[in-house]
Amino acid sequence: MRKTTTQKIPAIGEGKRGDQAYLGYLLRQANTAYRARMEKALADIDITPPQFSVLTMLAAYPGLSNADLARLSLLTPQTVSVIVNNLEKSGALSRRPHAVHGRIQHLDITDEGKALLQSCKQRVNQVERELASHLHPDEAAVVRRWLIAIALDTGPAAD
């Protein structure tokens, strides 16, 4: 019979889940917590965070293709395809053919999609306010610039 030892798993904010953690781990930990808050905020209107992202990007950049939408939404093309099909069935978006390329379709958010997005934004804005509640506006601006700089970094590890 093998002896097992039970080691206490540190709580969030302790040990390798806190000050001793890699920044990348902390980013993922924070993203997981944020995603859970988003899922909870959007659950009553039957929208997922990826669907919200797709609607947001289509409202901001009308006429995107599936491939462009996948890149902007940080989702796989396969995931975007499923989301687009479901949102089209619900009437939240429409497709129109590309003027030159027959296989490419442009996507547009419909009036119904805009109303749905507005409902989503009310919930998401509350999550965002809670997220920033412990930061001074200047600190929030620093965090935004830092996160953007990380995304822009194309050093050797990003290749």
Tens digit of each residue's pLDDT (9 = 90 or more) over 15-25: 988 989 999 99
A 10 A CB-CB count for 102 gives 8
Non-local (6+) Cβ contacts of 67 within 8 A are: 77
The pLDDT confidence band at residue 104, using thresholds 50, 70 and 90, is confident
Given a cut of 70, is residue 156 above it in pLDDT?
no
Mean pLDDT, to the nearest integer, of 124-140?
A: 96
- CA–CA dist 58, 75 (Å, integer): 14
Rounded to two decimals, the pTM is 0.85
Question: Does residue 127 contact residue 37 with C-beta atoms inside 8 Å?
Answer: yes
Reported confidence tier of residue 142, pLDDT bands at 50, 70, 90:
very high
Predicted pLDDT of residue 144: 95
Three-state SS at 48:
coil
